[in-house]
Amino acid sequence: AASKPIEPQSCSGLSRWQLALMVGTPVVFGVGAVYLWRRRRGRDKQAKTNGERKTPEGSASPVHGQQGTSSVGLESMMKWTEVIQDCSWAVELNPRYVKALFRRAKALEKLDNKKECLEDVTAVCILEAFQNQQSMLLADKVLKQLGKEKAKDKYKNREPLMPSPQFIKSYFSSFTDDIISQPYQKGEKKDEDKDKEGEAAEVTESSGYLKAKQYMDEENYDKIISECTKEVESRGRYTAEALLLRATFYLLIGNASAAQPDLDRVINMDDASVKLRANALIKRGSMYMQQQQPQLSTQDFNMAAVMDPRNADVFHHRGQYRQAYTGNNPSQVQKAMDGFEDVIRRFPKCAEGYALYAQALTDQQQFGKADEMYDKCIELEPDNATTYVHKGLLQLQWKQDLEMGLELISKAIEIDNKCDFAYETMGTIEVQRGNLDKAIDMFNKAINLAKSEMEMAHLYSLCDAAYAQTEVAKKYGLKPPTL
């Protein structure tokens, strides 16, 4: 499965934020594609007609000068309410008075009025043509705070949502050495051990775990967690397998807090098979990676590699981790690239390997080869929606082909209407096209499908950024340059 890119703690590489923003600027503006940046030089005149104007304090009129001096004094005394009143009067006289807008934004932040602060600082960013780092950082800070607050409330009250069958199948296809995802037929004898040290077991339906496996084969995924729980509570012979399968589905529905205790138990079960414990380590390491805990992630991947050195999943998932955290270190980048090449050489039918390698190649601006890898991934998994999104983004970054990019992302939504990454990406592009209402609709769809609180916070930030731009357009007639 072509997974979403991981957001590293450093600002290098192609992180989640950079994929959403592409031009590398904070979330408030850049939501879109690299080629906007490439066109920006030729758009200077248009940007100015859309409001790129700086009004030096005191230069517009004597009134502005007096007002500016007054608000500076009030700001130094931390009289925030008075600062807001003073700046509001100045903005009434000149809605494009940058310094008054920015001073009011800072005062609003001090009073914890994040919504109005965001609107003011968004106006400032547009007026300054996104060139002032101070205002950009304030916008980004407020957006992240708003996103976290909204996600914290929404995520804890959300109904767990099972991903689409295609997403689940693609997820399991990213593992080549995962016992719990291997199908078997009723009545057949299966070599479990791989888990039971070579002991053959008759497949019956008396076990909750075996019933869960039957539901997996039938794609009846909603019943799997409850059947695994029956196996665990009865302390059946497949307790370790049931714990791992239950943890996996907890991860799939975005309940990492429920998944971790199950993964911890499997990892610490000395009588469980090496394959099960290594798989649990890989999944816990990937979970830590999503939570931006690189030290814990590294530790789990390394433990899995020592425990099961011939397990290809260790190297391919650790390769994804290394891609996310390489920074600007050329040797680390090369090590990650070598790891991906090794995976696709040893496992040429592993679509996930090609997809992750394509992401790494895109980071290195090897666009042609990345496109070939995505084509190979689509050939192996034609119904994997996420791959189409990545390929669509590549067309934007590589060829500046908006039409092809949108076509591929629309195809992803057609294949899987639960693909939150597709809605998110479509929203980012619509912001840059100036279609803010459509962008907000796309972001809201993605929010309802988010699989973690962190992911939901990121999406709320994007949505709030788009909404702030609609408010600024209404109040001041300001719009950033569009595609």
Q: Which domains does the chain have, with CATH numbers?
A: 1-161+424-483 (no CATH), 178-423 (1.25.40.10)
Q: What is the pLDDT of residue 193?
A: 42
* Higher per-residue pLDDT: 149 or 51: 149
What's the rounded mean pLDDT across residues 199-218? 75
Place of tokens 């709320």: 460
Residue 45: is its pLDDT beyond 80?
no
Of 39-43, 266-270, 373-377, minimum mean pLDDT range: 39-43
In the block, tokens 């459509």 appear at 438
pLDDT at 120 over 70: yes
In this prediction, residue 191 carries a pLDDT of 41
More confident residue, 208 or 77: 208
pLDDT of residue 95: 92
Please give the pLDDT value at position 296.
94
Q: How many angstroms separate the CA atoms of 3 and 359, rounded?
A: 10
Q: What share of the chain has pLDDT > 70, as a percent?
A: 76
| pLDDT the model gives residue 129 | 86
Identify the pLDDT of residue 74.
67
- Greatest mean pLDDT among 95-109, 157-171, 311-325, 345-359: 95-109
Determine the Cα–Cα distance for residues 304 and 302; give it in Å rounded to an integer.
5
Rounded to 5 degrees, φ, ψ at 62 are -60, -35
If phi > 0 it is left, if psi is from -120 to 50 it is alpha, else beta; for residue 412 that is: alpha
Q: What is the pLDDT of residues 296-328, one digit of tens each?
A: 988 999 999 999 988 877 765 665 555 555 555
CA–CA separation, 189 and 144 (whole Å): 53
201: pLDDT confidence band, cut at 50, 70 and 90? very low
- Evaluated on CA atoms 57, 62, 66, 69, the torsion sign reads positive
Percent of the chain with pLDDT strictly greater than 90: 54
Average pLDDT rounded to a whole number, residues 207-216 = 94
HEC assignment per residue over the chain:
CCCCCCCCCCCCCCCHHHHHHCCCCCHHHHCCCHHHHHHHHHHHHHHHHCCCCCCCCCCCCHHHHHHHHHHHHHHHCCCHHHHHHHHHHHHHHCCCCHHHHHHHHHHHHHCCCHHHHHHHHHHHHHHCCCCCHHHHHHHHHHHHHHHHHHHHHHHHCCCCCCCCHHHHHHHHHCCCCCHHHCCCCCCCEEECCCCCCCCEEECCCCCHHHHHHHHHHCCCHHHHHHHHHHHHHCCCCCHHHHHHHHHHHHHHCCCHHHHHHHHHHHHCCCCCCHHHHHHHHHHHHHHHHHCCCHHHHHHHHHHHHHHCCCCHHHHHHHHHHHHHHCCCCHHHHHHHHHHHHHHHHHCCCCHHHHHHHHHHHHHCCCHHHHHHHHHHHHHHCCCCHHHHHHHHHHHHHHHCCHHHHHHHHHHHHHHCCCCHHHHHHHHHHHHHHCCHHHHHHHHHHHHHHCCCHHHHHHHHHHHHHHHHHHHHHHHHCCCCCCC
The pLDDT-based confidence of 389 (bands split at 50, 70, 90) is very high
Examine the pLDDT at 188 and tell me if it is beyond 70: no
Q: What integer best gives the mean pLDDT of the chain?
A: 81
| Segment 464-470 mean pLDDT | 94
Q: Looking at residues 348-376, what average pLDDT do you find?
A: 91
Question: Residue type for 305, please?
Answer: A
Give the pLDDT band of residue 100 (cuts 50, 70, 90).
very high
Kindly report, residue by residue over 2-20, the tens digit of the pLDDT.
455 444 333 333 334 333 3
Q: What is the pLDDT of residue 130?
A: 84
pTM over 0.85: no
Is pLDDT above 80 for 1?
no
Report pLDDT for 363: 85
pLDDT of residue 460: 96
pLDDT tens column, 439-451: 999 999 999 999 8
The C-alpha R_g of the chain, in whole angstroms, comes to 26
Please, which pLDDT band fits residue 229 given cuts at 50, 70 and 90?
very high
Give yes or no for a contact between 29 and 429, defined as CB atoms under 8 angstroms apart.
Answer: no
Query: Could you tell me which of 324, 413, 313 has the C-alpha nearest to residue 4?
Result: 324
The whole-number pLDDT of residue 319 equals 54
pLDDT digits (tens, 9 = 90+) for 452-461: 888 999 999 9
Tell me, what's the pLDDT at 263? Answer: 98
pLDDT value, residue 343: 80
Statement: residue 51 has pLDDT above 50 = no
Report which of residues 11 and 366 the model is more confident about: 366
pLDDT exceeds cutoff 90 at 294: no
pLDDT at 390: 95
130-139, 152-161, 185-194, 469-478: which range is least confident on average? 185-194
pLDDT higher than 60, residue 153: yes
pLDDT at 77: 64
Q: What's the whole-number mean pLDDT along residues 104-109?
A: 97
Question: Given this model, what pLDDT does residue 79 score?
Answer: 83
